[in-house]
Amino acid sequence: MNSVIDSMMKIFGSLGTGNSALGLVLAVVIAGLVVFTIMAVMAIVAVYFERKVSAFMQDRIGPMEVGIFGFKGGKQFWGGIGQTLADTVKLLVKEDILPKEADKKLMIMAPFIIFIASFLTFIGVPLSDGLVVSDFNIGVFYIMAAGSIGVIGIILAGWSSNNKWSLYGALRSAAQIISYEIPIGLSLMLVVIVVGSLNFGDIVAWQADHRWFFIHSPFAFIAFIIYVIAGVAETNRTPFDIPEAESELVAGWMTEYSGFRWSIFFMSEYANVLIISIIASIIFLGGWLSPLAIFGVHVSWLEGPLWGLFWIFSKAVFFVFVMMWFRWTFPRLRVDQLMYFCWKVLIPFALANLIFISVWELIF
Amino acid sequence: MAEVAFIIIAAITLASAFFVVFSSNLMYSGVALFFTLFGVAGLYVFLYADFLAATQIMVYVGGIMVLILFGIMLTNKIASTDLRQANRGRFMAGLSAFILFLLISAIAVTTQWHTGSPQFLDTTVAKLGMMILYQYLLPFEVASILLLAALIGAALLSRKK
């Protein structure tokens, strides 16, 4: 599998623009800007998507009625597109408030640490066959590692705000994210045991040769369910949105943030949602393979990098929709229920799964 | 190119390590430690140790750092940012640091380093796994028993009486 950086280096090399160092710097900067743009656009689209989903599910009026540029409001998909524009402008021009008693240096630094965590994770996430910024041999493990950095930013944000609710939100969030990393890691480990590689390209190639993982075996299916549940918890979304529970903690660790810094939090949250969804579709749903591949039908014009991008995004958008669906239909758990569910339900199941899949692999 | 990147990463590691020791604000020391640990992971990348670098980030940045920050946050009054370290006990600290330095330099001098051009391995994970499960199985298991004991001990100590 080729990575984007490699191909760009090749192009710069063939142009003969002098030394390779300049080419590398250019390639890294361009790739970084592209990832940043994807994250920003994704956040805007996802907020609009979330508003529409909530409006359809709960019959909300706001996101349905704000029309702009001749797009009239109403129950069709484009009704309410003006709201997105208004939101973006509002977030960018809003006053950036730092509380007087807050630890200003850390409070400014915290959103960037959270953003860097999502950004670093995005670098290892393939968007199609060969369409990945950097193709790591240890792809799955790298993503787990890079994703675990964000907790530091959350703790710093909660502590530096100098606000009780922020601190409680940060504590809950950190406990939750660290706990739910374990079932995620264990369920991904099952796939790694079967494939024998941590590389995303190898995992998808294995699924192309054999079966997609969610129908690979009963245990793989359970791992898939565990991954989706833990993934929702990992991104702090309902029913696991205890760290930012509006009715008890104002807004959790992001209470004191406003304006642009707050929108960085939002961007990272939606980037994480997208990352979790893309990983789920790569690992368990065949990634960039077309759905016909389940039935062993290979249509050649439905494959290739561009179609791969389309398939991976349709699968990922489905997961994003499911996560939003959860958010607008499920009530919130209690803190102790959350911890109970992770440590006494998900982790034992995930561990047993690992043992059973090893036996399964020995037999079949 | 690689040298420039190496110098930048090494400088970040060293500068933040100095900040950890000399900052009087404990929370800032903790945050500086974050950058130190990150820089060490960067140095591993230069040694072609991709798995080790990711493990460094996962265990130290994602785990130990969180524990340290939790400890700092919860041992002080919640609303106060006034948390100082005074660098007391300089003599004992200097002595133990000196002994540690001697120990590390003795190991560094006596080790047979692999010199010559670094050999690029396609993946280090398979080799590491084989080593852990064949050659170093006993230390690996001993370490896991130690961790299990620590885990049970912590659970027992924090249980309500």
Tell me what ipTM this predicted complex has.
Answer: 0.77
Angle (CA) B137-B52-A120 rounded to 5° is 145
Averaged pLDDT for residues B89-117: 85
Contacts of B122 in chain A (CB under 8 A): 137
Interface residue B34 vs chain A (CB under 8 A)? yes
Identify residue A82 by its one-letter amino acid code: G
B70 and A146: CB-CB below 8 Å? no
Contacts of A160 in chain B (CB under 8 A): 81
Which residue ranges make up each domain of chain B?
1-80, 122-161
Distance CA B109, CA A172 (A): 47
Interface residue B62 vs chain A (CB under 8 A)? yes
pLDDT of B77 reads 55
Residue of B nearest to A24 (CA): B1
In CATH, the number for domain B1-80 is 1.20.120.1200
Q: CA of B157 to nearest chain A CA: how many angstroms apart?
A: 19
B62 and A20: CB-CB below 8 Å? no
Contact A151, A140 (CB under 8 A): no
pTM: 0.84
A20 and B31: CB-CB below 8 Å? no
CA distance readout (Å), A273 to A220, A235, A349, B86: 22, 6, 24, 43
HSE (CB half, 13 Å, CA atoms) of B60? 17
Put simply, the chain A residues between 173 and 232 with a CB less than 8 A from any chain B CB are 174, 178, 181, 198
Suggest the residue from A112, A142, A152, A189 to mutate for an interface test with chain B (most B CBs closer than 10 A). Answer: A152
Tell me how far the alpha carbon of residue B27 is from its chain's centroid.
17
Interface residue B66 vs chain A (CB under 8 A)? yes
Suggest the residue from B52, B75, B81 to mutate for an interface test with chain A (most A CBs closer than 10 A). Answer: B81
Split at pLDDT 50, 70, 90, the class of B116 is: low
Contact A42, A271 (CB under 8 A): yes
Contact A55, A63 (CB under 8 A): yes
A136 and B50: CB-CB below 8 Å? yes
CA distance readout (Å), A84 to A41, A68, A268, A294, B82: 11, 10, 18, 38, 42
Q: CA of B102 to nearest chain A CA: how many angstroms apart?
A: 33
Contacts of B65 in chain A (CB under 8 A): 152
Distance CA A26, CA A20 (A): 10
Contacts of B69 in chain A (CB under 8 A): 152, 155-156, 159
Contacts of A24 in chain B (CB under 8 A): 1
Interface residue A256 vs chain B (CB under 8 A)? no
Residue of B nearest to A174 (CA): B66
Across the interface, which of B1, B61, B69 has its CB nearest the CB of A148?
Answer: B61
- Give me the count of residues in chain A: 364
Which residue ranges make up each domain of chain A?
63-93, 102-363
B66 and A151: CB-CB below 8 Å? yes
Split at pLDDT 50, 70, 90, the class of B86 is: low
CB pairs under 8 A between A and B: 80
Query: Per-residue confidence of chain A (364 residues) as pLDDT tens digits?
Result: 467 777 776 676 666 555 666 777 777 788 888 888 888 888 888 888 887 777 777 777 666 666 666 666 555 666 667 777 777 788 788 877 777 777 778 888 888 888 888 888 888 888 877 777 777 778 888 888 888 888 888 888 888 887 778 888 888 888 888 888 889 989 988 888 888 888 888 888 888 888 888 888 888 889 899 999 888 888 877 777 766 666 666 777 777 787 778 888 888 888 888 889 999 988 888 878 777 777 766 677 777 777 888 888 888 888 888 888 888 888 878 778 888 888 888 899 999 989 998 888 888 7
Interface residue B26 vs chain A (CB under 8 A)? no
Interface residue A21 vs chain B (CB under 8 A)? yes
Interface residue B138 vs chain A (CB under 8 A)? no
Interface residue A155 vs chain B (CB under 8 A)? yes
Q: Is pLDDT of B78 > 60?
A: no
Contact A38, A308 (CB under 8 A): no
**Segment B34-75, tens digit of pLDDT:** 889 989 988 888 877 888 888 888 888 888 888 888 887 777
Across the interface, which of B31, B65, B125 has its CB nearest the CB of A198?
Answer: B125
Residue A256 tokens, joined: 């004191």
